[in-house]
């Protein structure tokens, strides 16, 4: 059994806990379509830890990328250099994603609702936005096609909202069987990993429920950070803190030049 | 039927001939091989009213939009990759500065499909996309169709046929055949979908490098201009790396309208050429170039 670090003493940051926990969610021998930022760091940590055979796909067309440091963009040169193959952008979205060859879509978001639908387009009105966000990118079709979806974002009342300003990528849509009626082939959200805990959809309603809480957090705190009345699992788990190995590998990865 | 081969021209001549006011222009390059030198030349020649097409506007279109060259933008992801916002893009959409920007917004898969349809000479592309999301409510170039064989409901998006397609590549040979390698994005589709095209290259060689994975024959390219480091601050695989520090610095340069205008004045109008701009940035970034 690996020794665990006490967060308060060695101080893994909230982002580090989030990244380590997200990395644990990625199964070995899975094909993962990765978004840039924290999902990319988590996916690469998984590859260096318990999922050495994971195949990482970036939307720049790099299949089987094995970067030694977290890329700043989805198209950094190292992704192409370490990939099993590099294909065109039309090919990555048609032959590989829409054809159903992706097991896990690993994404971030600006806003999320109780059904795991996400907004990366605008805050406010589309025609006159308060904040114009980057937009859809690859996310809508990743969310539609991947067998399951892992989402990573910090939990605040501004990001976990009662109602999205814009639905960019579909999670469990309006709950229940509504996602199936859209004809999407992928399975929808599997887990949402935040800086406070882990949320998973209830199997029948599709609504996200708090199923694990990170060390040092209280349920009250998580509920207060959620813009809708958050359901809490009757079997709420406490997250196993990052192990020394996880934290060391993560810091080496992030610090790598 | 007689075809014409690519003509070797200067960057300034190519832009004044091809990128005229009001045309639609697609400058592609997915993070890699972004034709920045062409973007600068368009700003230098003060071209206006362009319909800009590009999957990821990136810094190249942030500059073009902030400089007031564009009236429309067709795109799918408008951020500074790994850094944050594109401030000029945001200012144009949020406040109409320096002029209003009409949007035609898609997903990456949709844009890729539109380029492929354009390259294929088909009227539209088909994809499993846009189902359930809000894009179709705001973008009138997204429609639902039914497969005539299975009845499955799918999305249709019209082909992109830019007046001008622009890419950067590592090499051209002396006959004007263009070769590139590394992340290939939608470069090939852009050239084949466009009515006329401009390719800037790092260098002209006797024979294309063995690493070349995409070749665009001379007879599908209109003009070639040799512009070493013409993709900076993005990169050219095998020639130079992406200058991530510049991408980070752009966040500061572009945040304020006056700072941005000063930068455009110094780096584009006063510098007079892309080579001079590179020298200037080299001094400012102190060895990062």
State pLDDT tens for residues B86-115.
Answer: 999 999 999 999 999 999 999 999 999 999
Mean pLDDT of chain A: 94
A28 with A53: CB under 8 angstroms?
yes
pLDDT at B102: 98
Choose the closest CB to A60 out of B31, B188, B247: B31
Using the Cβ of A137 and the Cβ atoms of chain B, whether some distance falls under 8 Å is answered with yes
- Using a CB–CB cutoff of 8 Å, tell me whether A88 touches chain B: yes
pLDDT at A101: 98
Most confident of A4-18, A64-78, B266-280: B266-280
A:B CB pairs within 8 Å: 174
Q: Which of 186-245 (A) contact B at CB < 8 A?
A: none
Task: Give the other-Cβ count within 10 Å of B237's Cβ.
Answer: 21
Put simply, the answer to whether A134 touches B77 (Cβ < 8 Å) is: yes
Question: How much is the average pLDDT of A113-131?
Answer: 97
Annotation says A25 is catalytic? no
Q: Do A132 and B90 touch (CB under 8 A)?
A: yes
Give the model's pLDDT for residue A4: 55
Write the pLDDT tens digit of every residue in B129-154: 999 999 999 999 999 999 999 999 99
* Whether B32 contacts chain A with CB within 8 A: yes
- Whether A72 sits inside 8 A of B242 (CB atoms) is yes
Contact A198, A191 (CB under 8 A): yes
- Identify the active-site residue in A16, A25, A59, A141: A59
Residue A8's pLDDT is 43
Using the Cβ of B77 and the Cβ atoms of chain A, whether some distance falls under 8 Å is answered with: yes
How many C-beta neighbours within 10 Å does residue B87 have? 22
- Which of A72, A75, A132 is facing B93, going by the closest CB pair? A132
Query: Could A94 and B112 be called an inter-chain contact, meaning their C-beta atoms sit closer than 8 Å?
Result: yes
Q: What is the pLDDT of residue B3?
A: 82
**What is the pLDDT averaged over residues A130-158?**
97
pLDDT per position as a tens digit, B16-71: 999 999 999 999 999 999 999 999 999 999 999 999 999 999 999 999 999 999 99
Residue B244: count other Cβ atoms within 10 Å of its Cβ.
Answer: 18
The model's confidence at residue A178, banded by pLDDT at 50, 70 and 90, is very high
- How confident is the model at residue B228, as a pLDDT? 98
- CA A206 to chain B, closest CA, distance in angstroms equals 16
Least confident of A70-79, A229-238, B121-130: A70-79
What is the value of pTM for the model shown? 0.95
Q: Is the pLDDT of residue B165 over 90?
A: yes
- CB contact (8 A) between residue A179 and residue B182: no
Going by pLDDT thresholds of 50, 70 and 90, the confidence category of residue A255 is confident
Predicted confidence at residue B289, as pLDDT, reads: 40
What's the CATH number for B7-106+161-285? Answer: 3.40.1080.10
Using the beta-carbon criterion (under 8 Å), do A136 and B77 form an inter-chain contact?
A: yes
- Domain range list for chain B: 7-106+161-285
Q: What are the chain A neighbours of B115 within 8 Å (beta carbons)?
A: 90
Tally of CB atoms within 10 A around A27: 15
B168-187 per-position pLDDT tens digit: 999 999 999 999 999 999 99
Contacts 24+ apart (CB under 8 A), B129-132: B129/A98, B129/A140, B129/A141, B129/A144, B129/B155, B130/A140, B130/B155, B131/A144, B131/A170, B131/A182, B131/A183, B131/A184, B131/B155, B132/A144, B132/A167, B132/A170, B132/A173, B132/A179, B132/A182, B132/A184
Is residue A222 pLDDT above 50, yes or no?
yes
* All domains in chain A, ordered by first residue: 7-251 (3.40.1080.10)
* Mutate which: B88, B128, B215, B216, vs A, most A CBs within 10 A: B128
pLDDT of residue A70: 84
Q: How confident is the model at residue A223 (pLDDT cuts 50, 70, 90)?
A: very high
CB contact under 8 A, A89 and B113: no
Which 191-250 residues of chain B touch chain A by CB within 8 A? 213, 235, 237, 241-242, 244, 247
Task: Give chain A positions within 8 Å (CB) of B86.
Answer: 134
Is residue A36 very low, low, confident or very high in pLDDT (cuts 50, 70, 90)? confident
How far apart are the C-alpha atoms of A146 and A144, rounded to whole Å? 6
Does A64 lie at the interface with B, CB-CB under 8 angstroms?
Answer: no
Q: Does A157 touch chain B (CB under 8 A)?
A: no
CB A231 within 8 A of CB A155: no
Residue A71: what pLDDT?
A: 85
DSSP B218: G
Chain B residue with the nearest C-alpha to that of A143 = B129
Q: Is the pLDDT of residue B261 over 70?
A: yes
List the single range of A46-55, A129-138, A189-198, B276-285 with lowest mean pLDDT. B276-285
Tens of pLDDT, residue by residue over B61-79, are: 999 999 999 999 999 999 9
pLDDT given at position B206 = 98
pLDDT value, residue B1: 64
Residue A72: its pLDDT value, please? 84
Model confidence at B286: pLDDT above 80: no
B54 touches chain A (CB under 8 A): no
Residues of chain A positioned with their CB less than 8 A from the CB of B188: 88
């Amino acid at each position: 059994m690996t020794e665990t670090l006490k967060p308060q003493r060695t101080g893994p940051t909230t982002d580090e806990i989030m990244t380590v926990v997200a990395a644990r969610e990625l199964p070995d021998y899975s094909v993962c379509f990765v978004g840039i930022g924290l999902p990319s760091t988590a996916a690469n940590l998984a590859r260096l830890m318990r999922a050495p055979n994971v195949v990482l796909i970036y939307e720049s067309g790099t299949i089987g990328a094995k970067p030694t440091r977290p890329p700043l963009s989805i198209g950094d040169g190292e992704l192409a250099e370490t990939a099993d193959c590099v294909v065109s952008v039309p090919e990555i979205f048609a032959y590989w994603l829409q054809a159903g060859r992706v097991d896990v879509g690993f994404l971030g978001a600006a806003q999320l609702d109780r059904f795991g639908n996400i907004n990366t387009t605008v805050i406010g009105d589309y025609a006159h936005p308060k904040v114009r966000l980057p937009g859809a990118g690859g996310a809508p079709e990743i969310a539609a096609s991947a067998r399951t979806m892992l989402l990573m974002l910090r939990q605040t009342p501004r990001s976990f909202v009662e109602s999205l300003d814009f639905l960019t990528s579909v999670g469990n849509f309006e709950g229940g069987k509504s996602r199936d009626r859209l004809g999407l082939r992928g399975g929808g959200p599997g887990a949402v990993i935040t800086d406070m805990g882990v949320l998973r959809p209830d199997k029948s309603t599709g609504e996200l429920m708090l199923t694990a809480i990170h060390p040092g957090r209280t349920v009250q705190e998580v509920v207060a950070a959620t813009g809708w009345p958050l359901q809490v699992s009757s079997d709420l788990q406490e997250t196993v803190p990052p192990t020394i190995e996880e934290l060391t590998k993560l810091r080496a990865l992030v610090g790598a030049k | 039927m007689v075809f014409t081969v690519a003509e070797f021209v200067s960057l300034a001549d190519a832009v004044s001939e091809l990128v005229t006011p009001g045309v639609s222009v697609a400058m592609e390059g997915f993070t890699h091989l972004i034709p920045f030198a062409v973007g600068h030349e368009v700003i230098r020649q003060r071209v206006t009213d362009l319909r800009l097409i590009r999957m990821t506007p990136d810094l190249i279109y942030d500059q073009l939009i902030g400089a007031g060259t564009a009236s429309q933008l067709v795109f799918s992801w408008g951020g500074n990759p790994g850094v944050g916002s594109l401030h000029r893009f945001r200012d144009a959409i949020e406040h109409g500065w320096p002029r209003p920007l009409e949007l035609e917004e898609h997903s990456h898969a949709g844009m890729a499909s539109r380029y492929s349809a354009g390259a294929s000479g088909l009227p539209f592309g088909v994809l499993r996309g846009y189902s359930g999301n809000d894009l179709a409510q705001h973008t009138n170039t997204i429609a639902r169709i039914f497969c005539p064989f299975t009845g499955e409901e799918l999305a249709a998006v019209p082909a992109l046929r830019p007046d001008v397609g622009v890419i950067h590549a590592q090499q051209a040979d002396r006959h004007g055949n263009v070769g590139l390698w590394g992340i290939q994005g939608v470069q090939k589709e852009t050239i084949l979908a466009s009515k006329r095209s401009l390719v800037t290259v790092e260098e002209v060689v006797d024979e294309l490098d063995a690493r070349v994975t995409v070749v665009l024959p001379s007879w599908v390219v209109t003009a070639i201009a040799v512009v070493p480091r013409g993709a900076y601050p993005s990169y050219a695989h095998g020639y130079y790396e992406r200058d991530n520090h510049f991408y980070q610095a752009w966040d500061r340069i572009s945040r304020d309208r006056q700072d941005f205008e000063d930068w455009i004045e110094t780096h584009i109008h006063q510098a007079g050429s892309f080579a001079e701009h590179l020298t200037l940035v080299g001094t400012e970034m102190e060895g990062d170039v």
